[in-house]
Amino acid sequence: MSSKTSRRHFLRTSTALSAMGASSPIALNLAAVASASAQTAPSDYRALVCLNLGGGNDHLNTYVPFDATSYTRYAATRGPLAQAKPGSALATTRSQGGRQIGLNANLAGVGSLYSAGRLALLAGVGPLRAPSSKADLLAGRVAMPAQVGSHNDQANTWMSLATSNPYGWGGRMGDLLAASNGTAANFTTVSGTGGYTLFLVGDSTAFFSVSDGGIPSAFFDGYPAMTAAVLGGGTSRRTNLLEQAYVAVHERLQAGAATLQGRALPESTFPAPNATNLTAGQLRTVARLIGANRDIGVKRQVFFVELGGFDTHGGQTDRHASLLQQLNEALVYFDGLLGQLNLRNSVTLFTTSEFGRTFNSNGDGTDHGWASHHMVLGGAVRGREIYGTLPTIDPNGPDFIDGGVMIPTTAVEQYGATLGRWMGLSPTQLADIFPNLGRFASTDLGFLG
């Protein structure tokens, strides 16, 4: 490996140091790598927004079995943890083999988005190496992904398709989409969490990091002596590789932050979100960038935001209700911002979570599962529909193993490929990002126009 290649690789992968935590100055700023010059973006701007439900969302209490047979079995299995049967206004209009679901009562706003045709539900999504039936899994004909039920391993598998892959599929999309952004390529991928996310780590691109508080300034702003000590003379006076990388990151941080602070829409453009809803705050910052796509000079972008706290082993009834209220509020708020910008057709938001939760209750909550249901929001979404396959509601039936762990019927790779196709990636590019895609009958799930 040449010294030039080695240095480039070091600079690219140094963002991994931000895994020390979002509160670390190095974490905030090594992940915030960007610089750009303005150009006029074409009118066909498109953006993906990944909303991760960190901790493992309980899908069966989010999307409640609604048909009489399914609800009776669900209520009998879950006992006091079961949600009340949704009212007809929250019931989906589609059924599969008589099976139907309804939205949790705390998702009334999401129900309105579904009814308006801008939101679709996707059933039974999870990491898969190949199509997998219960019989195949029990007979060992198909291998399960590694460490199903492990937070870290399954979060990594959702975001990068393996437990040890250094690149996320959002970042790999960014690698391929960056060319369409010209001199603004470094703003192709943006984390809204204020820190590191594997989902956006690319091979040849690095993501810029913002937060619910807005666009960051350089870490040393207000400390001229520190600025001079670290940045004085630039990288040319440094001989140590780590020092060069550190200085280069801060130089790009300053340039990138200045660019976005000067071109992002002001916060006053939008109504303020609930101050306690940090996810809504992240989405406002994302909307400030989306609305300024022409001034920033971007044509394609991939964003990541998060709502955490879904690891509900105990106290689930109250905790999950509060989380769903926050989710509902954030999605309705973001849809309103996109409507204000007249950019609903240009932006697709989708949910992820490292796993669903067990059908069976542990008494006060639920434990780690595998597959989960998800939602997709946007003007390009073919809404008011359920994609994928709803399970037979029986913890000992064909769609569950270990007495309550739901088997995926739709692969993460199919989910991601459908989103990538809408972003303009070719079948060859998608096959490169999602290496197992060819093992599945459908590579486009059809939920985007």
Please state the domain extents for the chain. Answer: 31-215+264-439
For 308-413, strand residue ranges (E) read 347-352, 357-361, 366-368, 372-377, 386-388, 400-401, 405-406, 410-411
pLDDT at 30 over 80: no
- Residue with structure tokens 């399954």? 154
pLDDT tens sequence across 271-298: 999 999 999 999 999 999 999 999 999 9
Nearest by Cα to 296 from 39, 44, 70, 56: 39
Residue 153 near residue 370 (C-beta atoms within 8 A): no
Task: Find the DSSP H helices in 79-168.
Answer: 108-115, 134-139, 151-160
Domain 31-215+264-439 has CATH 3.40.720: yes
Banded pLDDT at 300 (limits 50, 70, 90): very high
Supply the pLDDT for residue 254: 81
Supply the pLDDT for residue 242: 83
Question: How many whole angstroms separate alpha carbon 292 and alpha carbon 259?
Answer: 11
Give the amino acid at 404: G
Question: How many whole angstroms separate alpha carbon 294 and alpha carbon 305?
Answer: 22
304 phi, psi to nearest 5 deg: -135, 130
pTM: 0.89
Question: How many whole angstroms separate alpha carbon 290 and alpha carbon 338?
Answer: 9
Region 355-368 average pLDDT: 97
Nearest by Cα to 46 from 434, 384, 338, 249: 338
Task: Find the DSSP H helices in 199-354.
Answer: 224-231, 241-263, 278-290, 293-296, 316-341
pLDDT tens sequence across 268-277: 999 999 999 9
pLDDT at 381 over 50: yes
Question: How many whole angstroms separate alpha carbon 288 and alpha carbon 202?
Answer: 23
Higher-confidence residue: 18 or 90?
Answer: 90
Supply the pLDDT for residue 224: 76
